[in-house]
């Protein structure tokens, strides 16, 4: 691992810790991964078992469709693995994971060529009791208390990127340009290299930057980097998708279809089609549109 990627992954972890405080389950990051790819599965453990103080063990069952290449050791924890299972166990109460902290338990391996969901069952043991994250869809209760961690294995060409909180700033008649905003998270890393939409003649990924004492925007050359498992937010006065040469006004309540184009580290191209609502989401301050 180079110094650079090490720094990036530390940054990613900081973001992760800040953004998943509410997650109770043991999960994999949303967004999926490409069929046939080498995948780093980072299981997020967000809290200890019910009424427990600390997590003392994590055992992950590896499904058919995931061929283990490596499990990442954890300081102060014993690690045991075989092709079916990886288990971490705290060597002492002092090295157990306190309930107030969050952590990732990481395995790397090769994914099946077959698109579709993969489920990893995870047994979490604690100083008191355990939690068996092992429920699969369609088994028993509608609302699963202890779902297994799910990974969406994606067909070739489908981008492994989680896109959420999308919106377009409304326009008034005669206005020729506006901005689109969203949160992007690529579990395996990617670059946003382009956007297209029938609503605009030109769509570009822009950044806002201070030049001297003037805020200016310009196209992000070479694409917007999405470090693995780090949420990158496109927002007013930051990165944004610039829609220019609008074909018609975009009133609040309308929907703009958009195709996002990505490339992975090897230059493999993929796309995601999203339907973006016009209008700022609740609680989002929407200052006046920026001039070009």
CB of 206 to Cu ion, least distance (A): 3
Residue with tokens 């030049």: 211
Q: State which residue, 106 or 280, has the beta carbon closest to Cu ion.
A: 280
Q: State which residue, 122 or 205, has the beta carbon closest to Cu ion.
A: 205
> DSSP 3-state assignment of 210?
strand
Specify burial of residue 240 (Cβ count, 10 A radius: 0-12, 13-18, 19+): buried
CA distance 129 to 133: 13
CB of 242 to Cu ion, least distance (A): 3
Residue 217 engages Cu ion in binding (rule: CB under 5 A):
yes
Label residue 65 left, alpha or beta by phi (over 0 means left) and psi (-120 to 50 means alpha).
left
CA distance 272 to 254: 20
Part of the chain binding Cu ion (CB under 5 A), chosen from 3-11, 168-176, 198-206, 226-234: 198-206
Q: State which residue, 199 or 242, has the beta carbon closest to Cu ion.
A: 242
Part of the chain binding Cu ion (CB under 5 A), chosen from 22-30, 86-94, 211-219, 272-280: 211-219
Residue with tokens 């079916």: 84
Q: State which residue, 111 or 200, has the beta carbon closest to Cu ion.
A: 200
Q: Which of 206, 229, 243, 250 binds Cu ion (CB under 5 A)?
A: 206
Other Cβ atoms within 10 Å of 19 Cβ, number: 13
Subset of 168-187 contacting Cu ion (CB under 5 A)? none
Residue 242 engages Cu ion in binding (rule: CB under 5 A):
yes
Q: State which residue, 1 or 291, has the beta carbon closest to Cu ion.
A: 291
Q: State which residue, 9 or 171, has the beta carbon closest to Cu ion.
A: 171
CA distance 247 to 231: 31
DSSP 278: B
Sort strands 200-211 and 240-246 into parallel, antiparallel or unpaired: antiparallel
Part of the chain binding Cu ion (CB under 5 A), chosen from 88-96, 127-135, 199-207, 261-269: 199-207
CB of 227 to Cu ion, least distance (A): 23
Binding residues (CB under 5 A) for Cu ion: these are 206, 217, 242
């Amino acid at each position: 691992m180079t110094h650079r990627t090490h720094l990036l992954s530390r940054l990613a972890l900081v973001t992760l810790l800040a953004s998943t405080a509410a997650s109770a389950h043991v999960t994999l990051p949303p967004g999926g991964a490409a069929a046939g790819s080498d995948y780093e599965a980072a299981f997020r453990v967000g809290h200890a078992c019910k009424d427990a103080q600390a997590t003392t063990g994590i055992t992950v069952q590896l499904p058919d469709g995931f061929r283990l290449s490596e499990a990442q050791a954890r300081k102060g924890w014993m690690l045991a693995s075989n092709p079916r299972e990886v288990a971490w166990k705290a060597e002492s109460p002092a090295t157990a994971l306190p309930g107030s902290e969050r952590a990732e338990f990481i395995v790397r391996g090769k994914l099946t060529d077959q698109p579709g969901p993969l489920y990893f069952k995870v047994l979490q043991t604690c100083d008191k009791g355990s939690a068996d994250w092992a429920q699969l869809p369609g088994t028993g209760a509608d609302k699963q208390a202890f779902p297994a961690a799910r990974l969406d294995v994606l067909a070739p060409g489908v981008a492994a990127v989680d896109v959420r909180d999308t919106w377009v700033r409304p326009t008034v008649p005669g206005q020729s340009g506006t901005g689109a905003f969203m949160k992007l998270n690529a579990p395996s890393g990617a670059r946003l290299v382009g956007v297209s939409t029938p609503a605009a003649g030109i769509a570009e990924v822009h950044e806002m930057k201070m030049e001297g004492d003037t805020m200016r925007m310009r196209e992000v050359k070479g694409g917007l980097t999405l470090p693995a498992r780090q949420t990158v937010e496109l927002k007013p006065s930051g990165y944004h998708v610039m829609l220019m040469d609008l074909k018609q006004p975009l009133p609040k309540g309308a929907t703009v279809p958009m195709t996002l184009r990505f490339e992975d580290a090897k230059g493999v191209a993929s796309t995601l089609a999203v339907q973006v609502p016009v209008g700022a989401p609740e609680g989002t301050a929407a200052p006046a549109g920026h001039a070009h």
